[in-house]
Chain A
Amino acid sequence: MTSSITTGVVNNVQNTDTTGRSGRNPLRALGNAIRSCLRGPVLAALAVPQLLLLTAATVAASLLGLGVGALLVPPTIVAIRGLAGLRRRLAADWTGVEIRDPYQPLPDAEAGFKGAWKRCQAMLSDQATWRDLLWLLVDPMVGFTLAILPLTVVAYGVLGLVLPQFWQSIADNGGNTWYLWIHVTSSGAAGTAALFGVPVMLAGLAVAPAVMRAHTALAKSLLGPTARAEALAAERKVAHLTETRRDALTTQAAELRRIERDLHDGAQARLVAMGMNLGVAERLVERDPEAAKQLLAETRQASASALNELRDLVRGIHPPVLADRGLADAVRALCMDSPLNVTVSAELPGRPEAPVESALYFAVSEALTNAAKHSGASHVDVQLWYENGTLKAQITDDGTGGADPSRGTGLRGLERRLATFDGVLAVRSPLGGPTTLTMELPCELYSRRTSSS
């Protein structure tokens, strides 16, 4: 069931891609055919590591009962996955067919025999592992035959062409005197055989791309994810999205509550007080002008304080420099305000979407605050750059290190902030420092007005 679906996909890709193009350009079709012919032996050569690994896997598995197997099985499976990965890459490079990794995620690496046993169990309970083994068994037979077929046929064509020169010595040495259905026992028969040489060669070339496709289809049916594995992967994705979305909503709700509280206790309260003061001043202005003047001065002071509070609030929601100048300058401004000595280098060819920009800005801001509070660092280096569709920030301080995401809530919060946008955080913080935080956010950049420097 599954394999028929995947084969269908393979054919579709081929129809729109290689075959379509070669149909228009005979020279390119010939090139494609020759390439396919020559790639055959490479695929055939995979049989050697395949059989070696199959043997290794059998030995390792048979030792499982003795316990040592648990230590031998995981590296063997890793090697098998490496070889399967190579075949997948070749499928992508040579035939444009994408074969996705079918493996379940492995548990986090644990030291010792227990960790090895856990990994071993996880690998063995993964259906994809057994399908890999099946591939190791089937491919050296079926795949090997398919792989060498086109070049063999072409070589047979060449043999036909050279028979007029060599049939005599072949016959004298007791070699095979049959070519196709012709019994080559005279120059005449050899000449007839030679006539068939070119068609046989062409036939070999003609079938080469199709054979290559068949080989890829075989690989895909065994190395690609099954429908069940795809469903599991989709389920995991949904679970991840549900979790990050819940986190995002919780964070957002908390933010809104904070803003509401700040407004209520700050600017709003001050405006009420100002209104009251103005009312009193209005009544006092004739009876006691001095007192009225005093009240008015206080009111002006209160309006300045209210403005200050609003300003701080806005900075916490969406900093004006970020809106004005984008990430690079906003981070530069942030670093100027930091009590630490911070150097910034940024290389961004454009600006990401506002929410992504804001998320990374606040993440960097939090990292700087952490560095100032906990690390005991005096110098921090911030780097921003864009690479392979990912926006990256690296923050390195010369502090005492020992930051642990599993303990501090700050780093966890940072991680959650980034996770909402499918971003990740990596922490390297050996005791004694330095601490390096690396943040990565997949996103696209747009060329709005960018940084001035």
Chain B
Amino acid sequence: MRVVLAEDLFLLRDGLIRMLQAYDFEVVAAVDTGPDLLQALLTERPDVAVVDVRLPPTFTDEGLQAALEARRQIPGLPVLVLSQYVEQLYAKELLADGSGAIGYLLKDRVFDPDEFVATVHRVAAGGTALDPQVIAMLVSNTERTKPLERLTPREREVLELMAEGRSNGAIAERMVITERAVKKHTANIFLKLDLPPSEEDHRRVLAVLAFLQVAP
């Protein structure tokens, strides 16, 4: 699988390259600035990009902007954004186009290589993976999660895990229920959130968007 990597700190970039290579990824470009990232994404068209939010030259959200711009030109280009901080605002911006294939994780998540690499694969396959911390922020906001009140606590739990990007199998394992039970919950979630019938992956993205309160 071909990866473009953007990280300005040498140690982290080096570590990430080694980790990805150890899991049989081909790092086709490793860049350290926003403009270089955009260039690499457009010319290499990788299977997935792993991008640090804060990049030179401005050291603001350069990486995020480059990723968003690349996705405007190549819709659905899988991007996993890493950051020292997670912001709901940025999660919304990344997911706003509704085409999925977005990951948004705290940098700490690379501490668990297996889990991290699984997430990269999920994003590459078109899934959505939000950091548990983003989800925790969303859930703590009781006023704004009102539309989700129609969901049962069980269904909310499934939706949260879905937002983290977990497959039905993984969700079943986490919640210690059968995969069929998970399927039933997801079907109920789609129904209660008024999501139009379409391909399963897309509906999962839409459900997460509804969770984030973004108009798809």
Q: Which residues of A contact B (CB under 8 A)?
A: 300, 303-304, 307-308, 311, 314-315, 320-321, 323-325, 329, 332-333, 336-341, 378, 449, 452
Contact = CB atoms under 8 A, between A and B. Distances in A.
A333 B88 contact: yes
Contacts, number: 50
Given A449-B58, A449-B60, A311 B85 contact: yes
Contacts of A452: 93
Given A307-B106, A339-B140, 7 more contacts: A303-B111, A321-B85, A329-B89, A337-B141, A339-B142, A341-B143, A341-B144
Interface residues of B, number: 19
B108 A307 contact: yes
A315 B85 contact: yes
A340 B145 CA distance: 11
A428 to B, nearest CB: 24
B61 interface: yes
B27 to A, nearest CB: 24
Interface string B101-145: 000001010010000000000000000000000000100111110
Most buried by B among A303, A324, A332, A452: A324
Contacts of A321: 85, 87, 89
Contacts of A315: 85
Given A307-B108, A339-B142, A378-B143, A323 B60 contact: yes
Contact of B89 (A332, A339, A378): A332
A450 to B, nearest CB: 12
Closest CB pairs A-B (n = 6)? A324-B60, A341-B143, A336-B88, A324-B61, A333-B89, A320-B85
A340 B108 CA distance: 29
B54 interface: yes
B112 to A, nearest CB: 8
Contacts of B108: 303-304, 307-308
B141 A339 contact: yes
A112 to B, nearest CB: 45
B73 interface: no
B109 to A, nearest CB: 9
Given A315-B85, A321-B89, A325-B61, A337 B143 contact: no
B84 interface: yes
B11 to A, nearest CB: 15
Given A303-B111, A304-B108, A449-B60, A338 B141 contact: yes
Given A311-B84, A337-B88, A324 B141 contact: no
B86 to A, nearest CB: 9
A339 B143 contact: yes
Most buried by B among A321, A336, A449: A336
Interface string B79-95: 00000110111000100
